[in-house]
Amino acid sequence: MEERLQKVLAQAGVASRREAEGYILAGRVKVNGKVVKELGTKVGPDAFIMVDGHPIHRERKTYLLFYKPRGVVTTMKDPEGRKTVADYVKDIPQRVYPVGRLDYNTEGLLLLTNDGELAQALTHPSHEVDKTYEVTVPGIVPQEKLDLLRVGVKLEDGMTAPAVVVLTGYDYEKNLTHFTVTIHEGRNRQVRRMCDAIGFPVRYLRRVMMGTLTLDGLRRGDCRELFHEEIEELRAACGLKRNPEGKAERAVERKPERRTEGQSARKPEHRTKRRAEEKPEYKGTARTKRTAGLRANRENAAKPNYKKKES
């Protein structure tokens, strides 16, 4: 895929995009041996670029699936000194960034990448990429309250789109309700605010699915690269073209290495033993499986095909 020259220079860390435009206009940039002075110039992945006679090394596209634990900030730096997602990808040479956000007390699936086109497409509401959350709230939630989530509730920033809500169980002993919510919008703290709107504030929240990606095989703090097929499925879900070379620049074709919580990503040849992970404190969790009719299910609030985990 071709990209604007100034964008490529900025991604390579040469300068900001605005500064890169100045370099181009000043005739300091060559592409395949020729000086380029037009800001609209686009270059392919194989273009040889030089700035002031020095070759530019372009970053390879990298796609990471991260199981964010609670108590981790979804940024690369935190002025308060709290743990961030950057602490889990210290050994990754590429500069990756989170796609969307999970708040400090929410755990679950988070995508990290340096593919700006895909990141923008995934977070744009017009593409309606599904995100599924497991929710635990205190109290026994009646069906009529869950129905409000299914048809949409009024928030400060407007009505929410209809959601797919599946009740996965009541815990009468602990006075808790467990259910899953599938939405395609990306508003700030949306699921928490939806639950607040029906009078049942969230006690536990975990994102378990985004598009076709799931947490299968990952533990809290784990990070793995996406498979080539997973990247192409995400691009298709967003209406993006397949990789022009038919292969992702940074994708694996085998089962990736997993890590224990608190460790940074390791090279494939390094393997570490994992400690046993604490099970979630609630019962009746659900493992989501995407079906071809999920979009239609949202419209008529029918239940998608969820398979319960053993408690």
Residue range 50-87, pLDDT digits in tens: 999 999 887 788 999 999 999 999 998 999 999 999 99
Mean pLDDT, to the nearest integer, of 108-118?
91
Closest to 192 (Cα-Cα) out of 182, 205, 180? 205
Per-domain boundaries in the chain? 3-55, 60-265+275-311
Paired residues of 35 in beta bridges: 30
- CA pair distance 123, 265, nearest whole angstrom: 25
Q: Is the Cα torsion angle 83, 89, 90, 96 positive or negative in sign?
A: negative
Pairwise CA distance, residues 71 & 221, whole Å: 11
The model's pTM is: 0.69
Other beta carbons less than 10 A from residue 294's beta carbon: 18
Strands (E), 164-267: 164-171, 176-183, 204-210, 213-214, 223-225
Closest to 262 measured CA to CA, from 75, 90, 76, 64: 90
Q: Which two tokens stand for residue 98?
A: 């989170």
Give the catalytic positions in this structure: 103
Higher pLDDT, 137 or 266: 137
Highest mean pLDDT among 19-23, 56-60, 80-84, 134-138: 134-138
Q: Is the pLDDT of residue 258 over 60?
A: no
Segment among 25-29, 123-127, 183-187 with least mean pLDDT = 123-127
**How much is the pLDDT for 121?**
86
The per-residue pLDDT for 243 is 63
Q: How many CA atoms lie within 13 A of 300 on its CB side?
A: 7
- Cite the beta strand spans of 126-217 per DSSP E: 131-138, 154-155, 158-159, 164-171, 176-183, 204-210, 213-214
Rounded Cα gap, residues 160 and 164, in angstroms: 12
Tell which wins on pLDDT, 137 or 124: 137
Confidence of residue 133 (pLDDT cuts 50, 70, 90): very high
- Residue 182: count other Cβ atoms within 10 Å of its Cβ: 21
Same fold flag, 3-55 and 60-265+275-311: no
Element (DSSP H or E) covering residue 190: helix 190-197
101 φψ region: left (φ > 0), alpha (ψ -120 to 50), beta (else): beta
What span, in angstroms and rounded, lies between the C-alpha atoms of 107 and 122?
19
Query: Residue 136: pLDDT above 90?
Result: yes
User: Among the CATH numbers 3.10.290.10, 3.30.1960.10, 3.40.50.2300, 3.20.170.30, which is that of 3-55?
Assistant: 3.10.290.10
CATH 1.10.1060.10 fits 60-265+275-311, yes or no: no
